[in-house]
Amino acid sequence: MTLIMSDKLPELFQNLNPVDPENSIVYCKRCVISNQRPRLLFNEEGVCAACLYAEYKNKIIDWDKREKELEILCDKFRREDGSWDVVVPGSGGKDSDYVAWYLKEKLGMHPLSVTWAPSIPTEIGSKNLYNFIQSGYDNILGTPNGKIHRKLSKITFEEFGDNFLPFIYGQQNYPYQIAVKFNIPLIFYGEDGDVEYGGSFERFDQSKLDLTYSLKSKFSSLAPNYWEKFGILEKDMKFYQAPSMEDIKKTGVEAHYFSYFKKWNPEEHYEISKQHLGFEPLPTGRSEGTYTNFASLDDKSDGFHYYMAFIKFGIGRTTSDAAHQIRDGVITRDEGVDLVLKYDDEYPKLYEKEFLEYLDIDNQTLNQVFDKFRRELIWKNDNGNWSLKHRVEKL
């Protein structure tokens, strides 16, 4: 879908369009992402919208002004009696750690951290959440019914090619439930993925999360009647749903993206969380499928979530990591290309056994799901060996 022209959009974001993702594979001229990423737009020079936003935030946004806006917003909600005044969704990872730390230490807020439990917790993820809490933060852990969550994960893996969808449902919606329950009218999520990674630019200059838009555009499968054919009832989905709009309005809940107010910098977040919050990287080295060791560490099913992106779109975890590090100036595009070619297709072997047991499937079913989501545009099969038809190249 073409981005609607608007006088409100800066010239940098005009004339953005999808590049025929059904019939062609095109890579961004600045980073390593391709037009296969859902909803990603490109300009006429072949630069993706996420790279254009990186240019916008690095050269155009007045971050001092944005920080003053953040202070004013916090002044509006800060509670002088020390009770919770902001919900910060987080897993104990570097980014949510940083958001909670900044709100508390720099702006005098009183955050309540809210965690939606990982499907299969890792030791390092549990340790980092523990260390964060011990650093002086209150936390509520929401853990859904294990049988329901496993069933949902299996269904979404086989139906949509993503075992992670039930986690994503709760990750966004459970913090709203807690905000309403404890009468906390402010929520701070981390980054706005649409602008940071490529998506709709309709709200590029707004900090508020539009829950109605999000539910319609990204969570259509949450409709209760969809799950009935799988034997999952509406009552089973309550933990995954947002509260009613009536309850949200009654509490006055506002949800904002922290990345609107502070330039989103994962490397800075990593250093702050190590220094102040006891965060530790993966002790065994890099994560499977990528070259980094400090992101998405808390769930043993993470690897298959990223690997399914590689299967469906030909772009895996390394592509994702390298793309934003190129935009942030951490690595060059040529370095990113080398990393993608080296690690992007790595199979997540480490937790394969736990993953199969969790979903109650075998390797044959796993491979059937892989083959179901391979597209002819992306993949070729030579005597039973699958390979990508196109790989990112240096310019």
The CATH class that applies to domain 63-261 reads alpha beta
Mean pLDDT of the region 111-126 = 97
Question: What are the residues whose beta carbons fall under 8 Å from the beta carbon of 155, sequence distance 6 or more?
Answer: 227, 230, 232
CA distance 112 to 132: 12
| C-beta neighbour count of 105 within 10 angstroms | 12
Q: Give me the chain's average pLDDT, please.
A: 93
Which phi and psi angles does 9 have, rounded to 5°?
Answer: -75, 135
Look at residue 13 in the predicted model and tell me its pLDDT. 82
Torsion (CA) 99, 103, 106, 110 in degrees, nearest 10 = -140
pLDDT of residue 6 exceeding 60: no
**Strand, coil or helix: what is 115?**
strand
pLDDT of residue 360 exceeding 80: yes
CA distance 208 to 257: 6
- pLDDT tens-digit profile of 283-320? 999 999 999 999 999 999 999 999 999 999 999 999 99
Among candidate residues 326, 307, 328, 331, the one with its CA nearest the CA of residue 317? 307
Burial string for 274-288 (b: 16+ CB within 10 Å, else e) reads eeebbbebbeeebbb
Q: Which helix (H) or strand (E) holds 57?
A: helix 49-59
Look at residue 3 in the predicted model and tell me its pLDDT. 43
Look at residue 217 in the predicted model and tell me its pLDDT. 57
- pLDDT tens-digit profile of 180-207? 999 999 999 999 998 899 887 777 888 9
Q: Domain residues of the chain, as ranges?
A: 63-261
CA distance 60 to 53: 10
pLDDT of residue 157 exceeding 50: yes
Look at residue 4 in the predicted model and tell me its pLDDT. 42
Look at residue 202 in the predicted model and tell me its pLDDT. 75
CA distance 170 to 350: 26
Look at residue 367 in the predicted model and tell me its pLDDT. 97
Which phi and psi angles does 27 have, rounded to 5°?
Answer: -105, 145
pLDDT of residue 221 exceeding 60: no
Maximum mean pLDDT: which of 12-16, 83-87, 162-166? 83-87
pLDDT band (50, 70, 90) for residue 322: very high
